[in-house]
Amino acid sequence: MSETPDTVVVVGAGPVGLAAAAHLTERGIGFVLLEAGEHPAAAVRQWGHVRLFSPWRFNIDAAAARLLTGAGWIRPDDGELPTGAQLAADYLQPLADLPAIKPHIRYGARVTAVTRLGLDRVRTAGRETTPFLVRLADGTDVLATAVIDASGTWDLPNVLGSSGIPAHGETAAAAAIEPALPDVLGRDRDRFAGRRTLVVGAGHSAANTLLALADLAGQEPGTTVTWAIRATDPTRAYGGGEADALPARGAIGTRLRAHVDHGTITLLTGFGVQRLSPAGTSIEVSDGHRTVTADRIVSATGFRPDHTMVSELRLDLDPIMSSTRRLAPLIDPNEHTCGTVPPHGVDELTHPEPGYYAIGAKSYGRAPTFLLATGYEQARSVTAALTGDWPAARTVQLNLPETGVCTSNPTITDDTTPGSCCS
């Protein structure tokens, strides 16, 4: 057993988990930050080649900036669009290395369960005053007075199957399936050059990969690109083009449409993956009516939260979004884009389990509308609530333009393709 019950446990040293650490530091709250990886921003580094839509000014938490500036940090140009690698190297690593934060981070510390010490989910008596017990993969138990879960969703991608479960043959074809955002023009080039690739998904991760593959097709003979979406109309995937207030995002939509129009990318609409079957060294992918033969399949179908480790806590999850019930109608992708999600804080994130809060991408459940700046506001609000500063916790301090936080004449400093405004 380690730590005292007056310690807050933060799970995950990504952008939002580190923002929570910064706010806890400013408020003088003891904490330990548990990170499964061997360094901060482990997930961000996996898509380091991708450029965010949002310029630096929206990707830096205010409390983190204050701590960093006090330590002599040189802030990046607010108008530039960072890559994931730049976000990690120029902001998140220096933040994690601050003397006020570094001693409280444990790397290689994977959380497997969160419960109450001596109580399961059924027991009520004394629950609110009983410490949390956080168990790690190595068997270590950490006690805490509160838990901020910023573990994200990167480790649990959605399946290819259009019914929400693996398509027939999907598990057997795993060796041919790539996760979202492969580095097509860099590290992973050899897996795609001269091959037939099918990209499944209609979001910005899919768009980024499709554009990289189209560039590769122009460089490597025999490289072909097919794009499958469940929608019958790709208009939403293309975005607003020149009318988009986000120049980088609008440019992606315009380029993507041009490649489809020119035949560089073959678009299949109304295609819901039902079955994958081996065809020699390739894979046949079927929607029940049409079949595509591919050498590689990129699954860009989004992510979902894993609530397994908190199954002994009392959670009030929306049956559709897998977020809190109060947050769900604010983030429903059937109604909202990332620009129309209203700011929110501790009240929308509260579960029946006092002291447990999921923030960041995990808080959004299966909604793909999460933005870093929104996660930072969640961290600020929750940490304020943990000190009893309810006026601050309930005061909205984030105003997003209707088109999202990624706006205002961003500057691109090299030729890396902009990829996503979301984390």
Q: Taking 60 as the threshold, does the pLDDT of residue 423 lie above it?
A: no
- Tell me the two tokens of residue 207: 């768009």
User: Which range has the worst mean pLDDT, 49-58, 208-217, 406-415?
Assistant: 406-415
Higher pLDDT, 77 or 55: 77
Q: Taking 60 as the threshold, does the pLDDT of residue 414 lie above it?
A: no
* pLDDT, position 41: 97
Average pLDDT, the chain: 91
Q: Is residue 400 part of a domain?
A: no
Claim to verify: residue 136 and residue 59 sit in the same structural domain? yes
Q: Is residue 410 part of a domain?
A: no
Residue carrying the six token digits 């310690």: 7
* pLDDT, position 160: 98
What confidence tens digit (pLDDT) does each residue in 377-404 have? 999 999 999 999 999 999 977 765 444 3
Higher pLDDT, 2 or 233: 233
For the beta carbon of residue 160, count every other beta carbon within 10 angstroms. 25
Higher pLDDT, 38 or 251: 38
**Can you tell me the distance from the alpha carbon of 106 to that of 281, in angstroms, rounded to the nearest whole number?**
43
φ/ψ of 333, rounded to 5, equals -65, -15
Q: Is residue 134 part of a domain?
A: yes
Claim to verify: residue 192 and residue 232 sit in the same structural domain? yes
The residue range of the domain holding 273 is 174-301
For residue 403, what are the contacts with CB-CB under 8 A and spacing of at least 6? 244, 245, 246, 339
Claim to verify: residue 203 and residue 263 sit in the same structural domain? yes
The DSSP result for 63-111, as a single string, is HHHHHHHHTT--PPPTTB--BHHHHIIIIIHHHHTSTTTGGGEEET--E
**Can you tell me the distance from the alpha carbon of 353 to that of 127, in angstroms, rounded to the nearest whole number?**
9
* pLDDT, position 244: 61
- How does residue 416 score in pLDDT terms, banded at 50, 70 and 90? very low
* pLDDT, position 368: 87
Q: Taking 90 as the threshold, does the pLDDT of residue 412 lie above it?
A: no
Claim to verify: residue 251 and residue 333 sit in the same structural domain? no
Claim to verify: residue 378 and residue 241 sit in the same structural domain? no
Task: Please state at what angle helix 372-386 crosses helix 15-26, rounded to 10 degrees.
Answer: 30
Q: Is residue 179 part of a domain?
A: yes
CATH of residue 56: 3.50.50.60
- Tell me the two tokens of residue 146: 């509160």
pTM for this model (two decimals): 0.91
- How does residue 175 score in pLDDT terms, banded at 50, 70 and 90? very high
Claim to verify: residue 18 and residue 150 sit in the same structural domain? yes
Q: Taking 80 as the threshold, does the pLDDT of residue 59 lie above it?
A: yes
Claim to verify: residue 294 and residue 308 sit in the same structural domain? no
Claim to verify: residue 20 and residue 138 sit in the same structural domain? yes
Q: What is the mean pLDDT of residues 287-294?
A: 97
What confidence tens digit (pLDDT) does each residue in 105-124 have? 999 999 999 999 999 999 99
